[in-house]
Every structure is written in C-alpha cells, then in structure tokens.
Chain A
Amino acid sequence: MSFTEQHPEFLKAAGGPDWLGELRNAGIARFAELGFPTTRDEDWRFTDVSPIRQTAFTPAVPAGADVAGLLQGSGGSDWPGHHLVFVDGVFTPDQSAIGALPAGVRLGGLADILAATPELLQPHLGTGAAVNGNPFTALNTGFIRDGAAIFLGDDIDERVTVNLWYVSTGATANAVTQPRTLIVVGRNGNFTVTENYVGPGDACYLTNAVTEIILAENAVIDHTKMQLESETAYHIAAMHVHAARDSRFKSHAITTGGAITRNTIKAQLDDENIECTLNGLYLGHGRQLVDNHTCIEHAHPNCNSSEIYKGILDDKARGVFNGRIHVRQDAQKTDALQTNRALLLSDDARVNTKPELEIHADDVRCTHGATVGQLDEAGLFYLRSRGIDAETARGILTYAFACEAVTDIESQPVRDTIEQLLIGRYRQL
C-alpha cells in the first residue's frame, strides 16, 4: 500500500484539531503531486532513492525490543540534560528521563502537547518547513503525529539541555517512522540539543524526519545530530531553521549509519547580525550513500555564516555534498565561509561535491573551498620516521582529519562520545 493509500486510515486513527488535518492534507496532496524524487531532479542527481520507492513501507508498530540496550550502545546515556526517548516514532515516557524544568519551559512528546495545548503548536508547526519543495518533507507533514516539541519562553537565564533519542526497533519489517521535531526558543534563550537516531544492526526501515527550529532575538542554540541508524536502513531528514536578530545557531551533523542518508538543512537568516554555523562529518563504508545538502539564506545585512563539512569514504561508499549560500541584494556586509573536504580511502569510493554561491550584494566576503584527496604523504612519512607503523599512522591522520569538524561542539561529553566512535573506527585502520 502506498503512502497516499495509507493516508485516509492514518487520519482517522490520528485525530487532532482541524488545522492539523488541513496541514496533513496539504502535505500528502503535495507529495502525491511531486512523487518520489528521481536522479533527473537536480537536487537528487547523485542520490537515487529508488530502493525507498520500491519498498512497501508500513507504519511502525512500537514493540518491546531492547531499547535500553540500543541506547547503551550509542554511548550517550551519560550525557547531561533531559532525555526524551521515542520508540518507533512514539514518545515513551518510561524510557525518558525528564528532570526539573525552569519556569517557562515546556517539553515533551508532540502528540501529548497537541492533546493538551494545541494552541502552543499551531502558530509554528509547518511554518518553518514549507511543504512546497522537498517531497519527503511533504510526506512527513502528511503524517505528522508524534515527535518532540520543545518551547523555551522569553528571558530564561538558565541553559537548557535536551537529548532526543529516536529509536527504531526494527520489530516490524519495512517499518516507517516519520518523527517531527519542533523547537522554539524565546528571546535571550540558551539551548543545547542533541538529536539522535539509532537502530539495530540489520533491520531495514525508513526514518523520514523533519525538524523545525525557530530562534527569537538573541537566542543561542547548539544543535548536534548523531545519525547511528542501521546500515541497512534509510534515513531522510530535513532541518529548517529560522533565526531572528542577534541570534546564534550552531549545528553539527554526524552521520555514520544508513544505507542511504539524505540530510537537508535550510537556514534562513531572517534579520541582521545573526551567526550561523553548520558543520558536519560523514563516515561511509560498504555501499553506503551519504548526501548532505545545506542552504544558507542571507537575506539581511551583517550576518556571518561558516560551514565545515568533512567526509571519509571507504570501500564502495558514495558521498554527496551540496552547499548553497544565497546572498540577497540587501545582505550587505555578509561574511560567508564554506569548506568541504573529503578523504577517499579506497579505489571505489566516490564523492560528488557542489558548492554553490549565489551572490547579489557587492559589499560581501564569501569564500568556499573544496578538496578531495588522500592523506598527506609528508604527514605519513613524519609519523613513520618516528617509528609508527603505516597502518597506525594512517589511522592517526584519518582521526585527526575527522576531528576538525567536531571540535566546535560545546558539550564535552558529546564530543567525547564522537571521538570514541572515531577512535573505534579509524585507530585500528
């Protein structure tokens, strides 16, 4: 049964207010119109999603799998902050750990908040991530039901830290989960969030996630996404960020899992004096395909953006990077910097890189650099001359290459977990 065929039944089961029904209908209508993208679409030229199109996905039925074990394996159980756990897309309070919250903070499962206070969601849901472009975003909008909703009111002094754990159990064959995350941070707020996706080793499932983030004036968000899905699963994610005056948004996207991964990040700098950092690291091996599309929209003067994306590809893995920076005519004094570097470890690994600068203002500084290559011979030689064998030397340099993309993560425990993951993967090269 196709997604459009499943939809009427879904609507009946999901319920909710009228405005949400309209939003869902708009989403599915748009998806029916667009269909799955093909490689003939410029945005999907190197990412063939036909395996997703050809699989008959069914809605996941939450099952009592070893969620605790999966969470343990991801290495994030000791991270500070509140933990929200979602099993097959459904918020699961027993697995979650939410501590005392400062006044003005509201967080929990999207479905719960929707049932209790739908008026909190209505002004934001679906406004950040419009359904007109990406068919997967339209599809997710059609099936909005659960996910995380986080609201920080204005002028909260305390820094709030939240970890979101989206766990796929793989209990249902070819299951699909479509979690929706909505984060609204008020004036002067200071928020740290990790968004994590985990799944068991050999399960085949689809995660189609959409995250909407809205920053008010002078708000600060430090966002980290860890994608540790099963290597036989499909992960499609879109993140839409709207930033207001004087706000600061920082994101790190780490991808290691997924047979096909597509991350779309769109950052809209809606006013002056905004700082936006989008960093990423992707590690691919086997036949994995990792696609990162980022877009930063500079619409107003005096905003800075910086991007560092790094990829390490082994075996027959493929990497795709598309970094778009759009500077509108009014966006004078923009300073935009983009770097994309890929390291190919094997003969059959491939990378397709396309930085795009579209600039309509004259008083700007925009640079981008892209390199594709191998480990530095001189560096290798130096390490070998110090008595380190070739394999270890290679591992050290690969590790060092990857680290640059994650050193900016503010949370030390999160950084440690990622570094451990890198060490486990590359130090024994």
Chain B
Amino acid sequence: MAQDNAIQAPEVVSESDELIARSIEQEYRWGFVTDIEADAAPKGLNEEIIRFISAKKNEPEFLLNFRLNSFAHWQTLEEPQWPHVHYAPIDFQEIIYYSAPKQKEKLTSLDEVDPEILETYEKLGIPLQEQKMLAGVAVDAVFDSVSVATTFKETLKDAGVIFGSFSEAVHEYPELIEKYLGSVVPYRDNFYASLNSAVFSDGSFCYIPKGVRCPMELSTYFRINAAETGQFERTLIIADEGAQVSYLEGCTAPVRDENQLHAAVVELVAHKDAQIKYSTVQNWYPGNKEGKGGIYNFVTKRGRADESAKISWTQVETGSAITWKYPSVILRGDNAVGEFYSVALTNNHQQADTGTKMVHLGRNTRSTIISKGISAGQGQNSYRGLVRVAPGATNARNYSQCDSMLIGDKCGAHTFPHIEVAGPTGQVEHEATTSKIGEDQLFYLRQRGLSEEDAASMLINGFCKEVFRELPMEFAVEARKLLGISLEGNVG
C-alpha cells in the first residue's frame, strides 16, 4: 500500500497538466453576434469623423471643441511601447469610430427596445427587465456605445441621483459635464485617453448630490457587438460632499477573428467625505487558444479623492487578449483613502499589464493595494504600479501586496512596482511573491477526498479571497464563476 501511495504522488503533477491542457481548450461562451442594423460612421479617423460623431449626438459647442482639441493633441502623440505586452501595430484608420443600434423613434418604455438586444442581455443574464429588477440593480446598458435603456431611473431621481447615459447628460446637465469632463483624466493624459476624448461615443454619467447615499447599486453593462468597431466609452461619476455610491461595471464581447480596440476613460470625483466604490468584472473576448482575435483593452481609469474621501477600485480581469489598465487614485485632500483590489487572470495567449497608481498629495492619506495575478497556458501577467508620496504629504501610509500564481511552465508573471517617496514621515511597504500552485496543499486536499478540480478550485479561490470579499455579493458570485470557467479543468 505504502508503495502505491509513493507512486501516486507524482501523478498529481501530470494529471494537473492534463487538466490545464483541457482548460486551454475551453471555448468562449458568450460568442454570439446580435444581428441588428447598425448606424455607423465610415472607417477611419479625421476631423470630419469627429464632427460627424458630435453632430450625430447634437452636442453643444464646448464638447465639440474638447473633442477637436483632443484630436489635435492625439496626432502629436506616439503609441506607448513600454507596457510588457506584444501585439501587431494597430491601424487607427481601419477602425469604425461610431456605431449605434439604429433607433427608429424615441423609446418610452422597455417594451420598445429592440427585442434582439434584450435577448442578448438575457443571454448574458443581466436583469434588464423591470420585473427582474427586484434584484435591486439599476442598469444603464451600453450596447455598442449608445445607452439603450436605463432602468430604475425614477427611484434614483427621487433620491436626487442622476444616472444615465453620457449623451443624455450632455443635454440635460451640460454645466456638470463641462465642469467635470477631463478634470481627472485630461485629454492630454496619454495616447489612448486622448483618442478616447476625441471620439468617445457614449458612456455612463452619475451624480450623487450632497449627503445622499445612493439607494441602490448602480451598474453598467458594456458589450461590443458590431465588427471592427472600437468602443470608446466614457464614464464620469461625481459624488458630492458626503455622498456614497457603489458602481458595478461588467463587460463581454462576441467572438471575432480580428482584434478589436476598446479604449475607455473612467473619471471619478469624490468630494469631501464622499465614498465611491467602483467594481469591474471584465470578461471581454480573450481570443481563441491560438491567440487569434480578442479585445485590446486599453483603459484609463482614475479617481480624485478630496478631503476625507474614499475611492475604492475592485477589478476581476479574466477577459481581453491584452489588458492595459491602471485604475488610479489621486489622494488630493487630507485624510483621503485609496484602495485597489485586483484579480487578473491570463490564460492561453492573453497578456495583461495592469496595476494601479496611488498618488499621495494630502496629509494623512492612506492607500492599500492588493493584487493577485494568475497565469496559465501561455499567459503573461504583469503588475505595474506606482506609489508616490509627494513632498508635503506628511504621514502618508501605503501597504501593497502583489502575489502571482503560475500554472504551467509556459506562462509568465512579472512585477514592476515603482515607489517614490519624499520626506521622512511616509510609510510605504511593498511585498510581492511569485509561486506555483502548492503541490503539498493540493496533495493534502486530495488525500482528504477532494477531487483534483475541487482542490485546485479551493486553492485558487483562497488565493483570490482578499479581493473577492471586496466585491458586492452578486458580483463576487459571478467573479468566482468566471474564474472557474476561464480556468476550467483547474477549478470546479
């Protein structure tokens, strides 16, 4: 008997290899295309296209100027090369910059929404129908850049919360848009932020007035549908003094052979004592197992936290062929708090270069970074972060932890944290570990009678627990499921 056991132990390795191989063959489950007539701009990018987009949306002049300035600046920029990702150069003239589902007349209720669109959402399992809304989630669904329906608007309105599509907000609250647009991510910020500022088609807008605690969790669902379209959405969330809001964002895209570009900008403004919690579950199409196709997800997300405000980013990144995003917090006011919790998974040929920036400007500011990277197949996963304590940011405190797990011997995990500290009162701590899934832990669970898959699932979920518990409950369940599906074979 003893001999048998001795022989079995090494077999665990080969068995798990097999499971990995199986998981790599996992197909993308959300790969269906909705056939609806799209109202799209011609391919390419020039001033005309920008004027076309702006005219199409009947935008006020300040916004057109903002777009034109951004475009002029974008033309002076070069595509960044520093991220640890590799891809063929993007031809920005081959992209359709505007695509909207053709709208016959003004929609007054959900019944008038194109049933095909609703069906798409149903397949995705979004509770868009009002009766399903008992789940308590208000959805601003963005379908190829234009918001098609917004639910729970009335309930929110009673609380004084403005939540809707960006284009609507431009018409209804132009003074808010003019005041805040580009205030956190200026159009000169970086290559993709400039591009987005020039061509963004729609997105979500949210304003929580002074002292209001948003009565429900807000949610946007993004989906890229038409072929060869880039999705350039723009999200702006403003929490006025003492306000609180939790915002969820989820993404999926159908299977396409070509690579699609997604360059979004998210700006958060948390005024004095306000709190914003922003959660993302990103499941864009990651490309097939040979690394063909998939979304290029180049996103700029940043929040500004004033005095005693708190901004918390939580992200679960399982999709996209390439992810390039660094949700950041500018801790501008005294006692502001910034948090970043992330799980990034790369499988097959996926590449992720993601992390955060915490810029401490105010006194007694605090930030926490917990990042978990999982690499499988031939995935490449990089954490890149910055913690800066500026002169004058006395008693700033940061704690960072980056853990990476490697599954299989063809993947990579990389860590590039930058720490810049001025002055003697700041405390910055950074820790990082990289290891493979624990052979002995697997063995322990196996000898307790758990199947290989359950054991691996338990270990991976345990590895990510610190991040999952920051997610709102429904999202935590979804995230766990997604992780399971993305790594099927390893996770039960």
Contact = CB atoms under 8 A, between A and B. Distances in A.
B413 interface: yes
A224 B361 CA distance: 40
Given A347-B391, A347-B424, A364-B436, A370 B416 contact: no
Interface in A343-386: 344-374
A232 interface: no
Interface string B422-449: 1111111111111110000000000000
A365 B425 contact: no
Given A344-B423, A354-B418, A356-B416, A373 B434 contact: no
A25 B426 CA distance: 49
A344 B424 contact: yes
Nearest to B411: A362
A238 B432 CA distance: 27
A342 B349 CA distance: 38
Nearest to B434: A366
Nearest to A324: B416
A357 B415 contact: yes
Nearest to A343: B424
Contacts of B47: none
Given A366-B433, A369-B430, A372-B427, A332 B419 contact: no
Interface stretch (B161-169, B400-408, B467-475): B400-408
Interface string B344-383: 0000000000000000000000000000000000000000
Question: Chain A CB within 10 Å — which of B410, B413, B426 has the most?
Answer: B413
A352 B414 contact: no
B424 A346 contact: yes
A317 to B, nearest CB: 11
A42 interface: yes
A356 B385 CA distance: 11
Nearest to B388: A352
Nearest to B418: A354
A122 interface: no
Given A362-B407, A364-B435, A372 B426 contact: yes
A242 to B, nearest CB: 24
Contacts of B409: 329, 332, 361-363
Contacts of A345: 424
A348 B434 CA distance: 34
A371 B401 CA distance: 12
A42 B389 CA distance: 20
A42 B82 contact: yes
Interface string A19-55: 0000000000000000000000010000000000000
B417 interface: yes
B422 A374 contact: no
A355 B430 contact: yes
B412 A360 contact: yes
Interface residues of B, number: 36
A274 B380 CA distance: 27
B426 A373 contact: yes
Nearest to A46: B420
Given A359-B404, A372-B426, A364 B434 contact: yes
Contact of B421 (A346, A351, A358, A362): A351
B431 A367 contact: yes
Contacts of A367: 431-434
Contacts of B424: 344-347, 349, 374
A363 B436 contact: yes
Contact of B408 (A346, A348, A355, A362): A362
A119 B474 CA distance: 73
Contact of A372 (B415, B419, B433): B419
B432 A357 contact: yes
Contacts of B391: 347-348
Nearest to A347: B423
A349 B422 contact: yes
Nearest to B404: A359
B412 A359 contact: yes
B190 to A, nearest CB: 16
Question: Chain B CB within 10 Å — which of A355, A361, A372 has the most?
Answer: A372
Contacts of B430: 353, 355, 368-371
A350 B389 CA distance: 9
Nearest to B405: A362
Given A347-B423, A351-B420, A352-B419, A362 B436 contact: yes
B432 A362 contact: no
A355 B415 contact: yes
A308 to B, nearest CB: 15
A352 B434 contact: no
Contacts of A332: 409
A356 B414 contact: yes
Contacts of B423: 344, 346-350
B324 to A, nearest CB: 17
B412 A370 contact: no
Nearest to B408: A362
Interface string A371-411: 11110000000000000000000000000000000000000
Contacts of B416: 354, 356
Nearest to B389: A372
A358 B421 CA distance: 24
Question: Chain A CB within 10 Å — which of B389, B404, B421, B423 has the most?
Answer: B421
B21 to A, nearest CB: 15
B434 A342 contact: no
A145 B404 CA distance: 47
A44 to B, nearest CB: 14
B133 to A, nearest CB: 45
B264 to A, nearest CB: 26
B406 A369 contact: no
A251 to B, nearest CB: 23
Interface string A330-348: 0010000000001011111
Contact of A369 (B407, B431, B436): B431
A342 B412 CA distance: 29
A54 B404 CA distance: 44
Nearest to B84: A358
B419 A350 contact: no
Contacts of B414: 356-359
A362 B406 contact: yes
Nearest to A318: B422
B392 to A, nearest CB: 9
Contact of A329 (B404, B410, B431, B434): B410
Contacts of B407: 362
Nearest to B439: A363
Contacts of A354: 416-419
25 contacts: A42-B82, A329-B410, A342-B421, A344-B426, A347-B424, A348-B391, A351-B419, A352-B420, A353-B418, A353-B419, A354-B418, A355-B417, A355-B432, A356-B414, A359-B404, A362-B407, A362-B409, A363-B409, A367-B434, A369-B432, A370-B417, A372-B426, A372-B427, A373-B428, A374-B424
Q: What are the 4 tightest A-B residue pairs by CB atom distance, in nearest-first order?
A: A362-B406, A353-B419, A372-B421, A357-B415
Interface of B: 82, 84, 389, 391, 404, 406-436
Given A42-B82, A372-B428, 13 more contacts: A342-B421, A348-B391, A349-B424, A350-B420, A351-B419, A355-B432, A357-B415, A362-B406, A363-B436, A364-B434, A370-B429, A373-B426, A373-B429
